[in-house]
């Protein structure tokens, strides 16, 4: 089940009972179908997921709520993934940020690495790889 609170969507559908300390994941992508699909994948895997439709919303959410991990699309309106990454690293420097892109240019890859991205991943990506990537990012942060 999806519930909308203020300007963002929270995924509350779970395959298992809620975990007492479910990792909080922020997913930002302007593609609504992909955003909701990613939310469902991670929710079913036991994550507490919050969805953002653009870079501005992602920054606002990350500034006002704690997250353990962020999964950010590179190409979004208002603020792109690199701008979101840089903003998040200012107020949540230890939070791993994964950037997803359909346009894997070397210049943005280098800039993302310099800004502190955990991983820069080309779309499409398989579900099992997404889940492993998130688990590894969370383990590296602790």
For 103-113, letters b (16+ CB in 10 Å) and e give: eeeeebbeebe
Q: Which domains does the chain have, with CATH numbers?
A: 2-141 (3.40.50.2300)
Q: Which of 84, 79, 77 is nearest to 99 (CA)?
A: 84
Dump the DSSP string for 52-110: ESSHHHHHHHHHHS--SEEEEESS-SSS-HHHHHHHHHHH-TTS-EEEEESS--HHHHH
Q: Answer with the residue of higher pLDDT: 2 or 130.
A: 130
Q: Answer with the residue of higher pLDDT: 15 or 22.
A: 22
Predicted pLDDT at 102: 85
Share of the chain above pLDDT 90, in %: 73
Q: Which helix (H) or strand (E) holds 122?
A: strand 119-122
Predicted pLDDT at 6: 43
The model carries a pTM of 0.84
> pLDDT band at residue 2, thresholds of 50, 70 and 90?
very low
Q: Which residue has the tokens 């909080």?
A: 24
Q: Is the pLDDT of residue 11 over 70?
A: no
- Give the number of residues written for the chain: 142
Predicted pLDDT at 46: 95
Q: Answer with the residue of higher pLDDT: 27 or 102.
A: 27
pLDDT digits (tens, 9 = 90+) for 57-103: 999 999 999 999 999 999 999 999 999 999 999 999 999 999 999 87
Predicted pLDDT at 15: 41
For the chain, the average pLDDT equals: 87
């Amino acid at each position: 089940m999806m519930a909308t609170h203020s300007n963002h969507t929270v995924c509350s559908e779970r395959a298992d009972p809620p975990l007492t300390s479910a990792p909080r994941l922020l997913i930002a992508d302007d593609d609504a179908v992909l955003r909701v699909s990613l939310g469902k994948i991670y929710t079913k895997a036991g994550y507490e997921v919050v969805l953002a439709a653009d870079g501005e919303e992602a920054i606002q959410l990350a500034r006002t709520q704690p997250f353990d991990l962020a999964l950010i699309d590179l190409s979004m309106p208002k603020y792109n993934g690199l701008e979101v990454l840089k903003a998040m690293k200012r107020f949540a420097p230890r939070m791993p940020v994964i950037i997803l892109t359909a346009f894997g240019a070397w210049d943005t890859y280098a800039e993302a690495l310099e800004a502190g991205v955990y991983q820069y991943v080309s779309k499409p990506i398989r579900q099992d790889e997404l889940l492993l990537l998130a688990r590894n990012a969370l383990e590296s942060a602790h």
